Amino acid sequence: MGEEVVHRGTEQIMGFSFNMETLYMTWIAMAIVLLIAFLATRNLKIIPSGWQNVVEIIVLWLHEQLDAMMGQRGRFLAPFIVSLFMFLLVSNWLGLIPKMASPTNDLNTTLALALLVIVMVHVLGLFMKGGHYVAHFFKPTPVFVIINAIEEIAKPITLAFRLFGNILAGEILIVVLLKLMPIWMPIPAVAWLAFSIFIGGVQAVIFTMLSMAYLANAVKHEEEES
């Protein structure tokens, strides 16, 4: 049971192994995000309704979080943060549709997203703070560089495994419940489905908020951090 979620076939292309199901689901998730963006912006109104209203609520909320964490200096990251959150939300919920799978129930996807965020943190830190960014790894004493290095290595690992574990476990349990429960007694499966929708949203929020917190360390002035 749960083989539909756990089993992932790979194909060899030019000596590299590719999980085609994850790739297909990733492209579908991106297409859905683009479709939502199109539906929300095709007929903009002063008083929003429909998809425009939904997307505006998300964008305004994320802008508020960006301003709270980074100030005006972080506004240029808004398109990335909004896109990341929308992709995570759609991806987490995609596997709840029969015959579909969440790209985020594959560790390759979650680790790639986590590494993208951490690489952006260090690139932005060096670009915006220069030598001061490197120096903060040696504070309060040079020996702390070892602890800080371990922390930086742990960040993408914890980001990736938290999202991956929660989404994979939710989809496996849905499959198990649907196999165990008689067709006339779907209440436990439906209840878990609703709970999985909630967890998918929460995990998208957690990943996005932690990403903003890490990026804030690279963007904010030292006086703002203190």
DSSP state of 197: H
pLDDT tens-digit series, residues 61-94: 999 999 888 888 888 999 999 999 999 999 999 9
Return d(Cα 52, Cα 31) in angstroms, integer: 17
pLDDT tens-digit series, residues 22-64: 889 999 999 999 999 999 888 888 777 788 888 999 999 999 9
